[in-house]
Amino acid sequence: MKLTFQKDDLMNGINIVLKAVHSKTTMSILECILIDASNQQIKLTANDMELGIETTVKGTIIEGGKIALDAKLLSEIVRKLSGGDSPITIQSNEKFNTVISCDNSVFNIPGRDGEEFSYLPYIEKDHYICLSQFSLREVIGQTIFSISPNDSNKMMTGELFQVSGDLLKVVSLDGHRMSIRNIRLKDNYGDLKVIVPGKTLNDISKILSGDNEKEVLVYFSRNHILFEFDDTIVVSRIIEGEYFRIEQMLSNDYETKVTVNRRDFLDCIDRASILIRENDKKPIIINIQENVMQLKLNSSFGSMNAEVLIHKTGKDLMIGFNPRFLIDALRMISDEEVDLYMMNPKSPCFIRDEDENYIYLILPVNFNAASV
């Protein structure tokens, strides 16, 4: 096999598939990237058996073939080569010894037989949806922060993708908060429901261009989900099981409704968080009165008091929250004003718009009223 590339083209392809390279495995072939130029195109593939990524790379095939190369080594070599207008050549012989060269730099590294590599699973393309790359990347960013970082409950490490007609609902929760985004699709589809690993969605959001004119096709099968866009295919196992009963957690009842300028509210909480260190669990106390919301935070580093003008409907209320949870939700909303719906100091706060394009549920935290 003998191939030539421009550095930027090759490096971009490597960076895309690197996200599916297993860093800790007893199967050394999973630490490799497959370079396959056996069928008139150059494709790079990585597969850790949970997530697989394949992308087509621009280059010249002088002699076809396939080779599996250590992903970390390949990435570091290509990154360090001078590039510019000088092509990078990758050449391997029948014993899989591989030469990577550019200008005066020549690397000799061992390769593996490409036939040993585990290709991506075949996915039937019967059930799918189509949406813009911009919409998919946006909805991931607007929900991914509220998945659980550990896998003590597997369901909480993924996001629910639920399709009904022309509506895509994406849900994430970690036991303390929940994020819901509803997107209108251009077409109507059959009912679908899968749980997608958070790692998969994080990786995809980094690859997507975010172009509103470019589309991504999402295919659903019994055990896998496939994302197809540009010159890239991402296949991931889904999380098996029944997701939480979301509707039972939602309520339209409230005793207090607050309408507040999103930016003013966010800035106040952001300033208060200066006094909190990473493992500090000090809540921000919100005292809701007739036309004003008083915010107070006490920590070992000091205290902060602030006031924000509001429009209130219903009862006065004093309630405490983890400030980071409020910041995460408010940053994902683009509306100038936001509505908060609350029942009492121990019930969830709902931040949602009238059309319920977004719903953020945040559980309050207990605080000692005497210390406020």
Rg (CA), the chain: 25
Residue 14 and residue 44 in one domain:
yes
User: What CATH number has the domain bearing residue 92?
Assistant: 3.10.150.10
The answer, yes or no, to whether residue 281 has pLDDT greater than 90, is no
Residue 160 within any structural domain of the chain: yes
Residue 111 and residue 138 in one domain:
no
Query: In the predicted model, what is the mean pLDDT of the chain?
Result: 93
The answer, yes or no, to whether residue 305 has pLDDT greater than 80, is yes
Separation CA 310–CA 320 (nearest Å): 17
| Single residue among 193, 228, 248 that ends a domain in this structure | 248
pLDDT for position 279: 72
Separation CA 342–CA 348 (nearest Å): 7
Residue 121 within any structural domain of the chain: no
Pairwise pLDDT comparison (275 vs 127), residue with the higher score: 127
Residue 207 and residue 263 in one domain:
no
Structural contact between residues 1 and 43, judged by C-beta atoms closer than 8 angstroms: no
The answer, yes or no, to whether residue 370 has pLDDT greater than 50, is no
Residue 236 within any structural domain of the chain: yes
The answer, yes or no, to whether residue 369 has pLDDT greater than 70, is no
- Does the predicted model carry a pTM greater than 0.85? yes
pLDDT for position 118: 85
Structural contact between residues 291 and 309, judged by C-beta atoms closer than 8 angstroms: yes
Condensed to tens digits (0 to 9), the pLDDT of residues 185-199 reads 999 999 999 999 999
Residue 99 within any structural domain of the chain: yes
Separation CA 314–CA 368 (nearest Å): 24
SS3 260: strand
Q: What percent of the chain has pLDDT over 90?
A: 84
Domain around 326: 250-371
Residue 177 within any structural domain of the chain: yes
**Count of domains in the chain?**
3
pLDDT for position 332: 96
Residue 254 within any structural domain of the chain: yes
Residue 107 and residue 135 in one domain:
no
Residue 175 and residue 265 in one domain:
no
Separation CA 70–CA 65 (nearest Å): 17
Residue 197 and residue 303 in one domain:
no
- When pLDDT is cut at 50, 70 and 90, the band that residue 119 belongs to is confident
The residues that bridge with 177 in the sheet, in sequence order, are 362
Residue 122 within any structural domain of the chain: no
Task: Calculate mean pLDDT across residues 237-248.
Answer: 94
